[in-house]
Amino acid sequence: MYQLGIVKRNIVRADAAAVKKLSAFGSATVHEAMGRVGLMKPYMRPIYTGAHLCGTAVTVLLQPGDNWMMHVAAEQLHPGDVVVAACTADNTDGFFGDLLATSFQARGALGLVIDGGCRDIKDLTAMGFPVWSKAISAKGTIKATLGSVNVRVVCAGAEVNPGDVIVADDDGVAVVPAAMAMQVADAAAAREANEAAKRAKFASGVLGLDLYDMRPALEKAGLKYID
């Protein structure tokens, strides 16, 4: 359950070496390395193409149409952090724009993941401050109601704890629990190595049917070839 009116100052961020190792991989590889879990819903899209981010989560719980807690969160940011903002209700208002981005960037934050709306797209793109959001909206917000900072949140269907690793790119947003960061990084590396070999085979014309030895299983499942 969400806790409101709370700011947790001391959070345990994922191991820096693990974060660094994870930063070599995309969201798809990382999610596969966790056993196909840990993804936010696909309605979360980057505001510009080609962004890729890997950092530790500082979480924010917003109220609809209110971005007060964003300013509270700014103070809790360390270099390498990613702000992950959830909202207590579905809301597409533009909670975030170039001023807050300037503040977050000054604190060393790498980007924002927000289950809500974002604005000042042109400026954010020029600044190179990536945002993954549910919507783009010019609509402004107020500063009137408390939410929380650094509590566990559900963002776009995924649970995020402060300190977790966020890997986001054009394919979506993956969340790696802090305690599993190195283990997932290792699994991702293994997977990637394995994929390079496969890619070469596929390029040479080998079929997945043979590369993965699928024909017996397909036959057993009853697949029929007709002419």
Q: Under rule CB under 8 A, which residues in 107-166 are in contact with its own copies?
A: 107, 117, 119-122, 135-140, 142-146, 152, 154, 157-159
What would the x/- binding string for its own copies be over residues 174 to 193, using CB under 8 A?
xxxx--x-------------
**What does residue 159 show for φ and ψ, rounded to 5 degrees?**
-80, 130
CB of 178 to its own copies, least distance (A): 10
User: Which is closer to its own copies, CB of 190 or CB of 209?
Assistant: 209
Tell me the residue ranges of DSSP E strands in 107-171.
111-118, 131-136, 148-149, 153-155, 158-160, 165-169
Stated length of the chain: 227
Residue 33 CB, shortest distance to its own copies, in Å, is 10
Judged by CB under 8 A, the number of residues near its own copies is 104
| Closer residue to its own copies (CB): 21 or 68 | 68
Query: Whose Cβ is closer to its own copies: residue 193's or residue 222's?
Result: 222
How near is the Cβ of 132 to its own copies at its closest, in Å?
Answer: 12
Question: Of 38, 39, 43, nearest to 116 (Cα)?
Answer: 43
40: region left, alpha or beta (phi > 0 left; psi from -120 to 50 alpha): beta
Q: Specify the amino acid at residue 63.
A: Q
Extract the tokens encoding 201.
Answer: 């085979």
| Alpha carbon distance 166, 135 (integer Å) | 19
Q: Which of 15, 55, 68, 84 binds its own copies (CB under 8 A)?
A: 68
Shortest distance (Å) from residue 76 CB to its own copies: 10
**Binding positions for its own copies, 72-101, rule CB under 8 A:** 72, 74-75, 88-94, 97-100
The partner residues of 61 in beta bridges, in order of sequence, read 86, 148
Q: Would you tell me the crossing angle of helices 68-75 and 98-106 to the nearest 10 degrees?
A: 10
∠ at Cα 202 (199, 204), nearest 5°?
Answer: 110
CB of 122 to its own copies, least distance (A): 5
Compute the least distance from the CB of residue 14 to its own copies, in Å.
12
Does 59 sit near its own copies (CB under 8 A)?
no
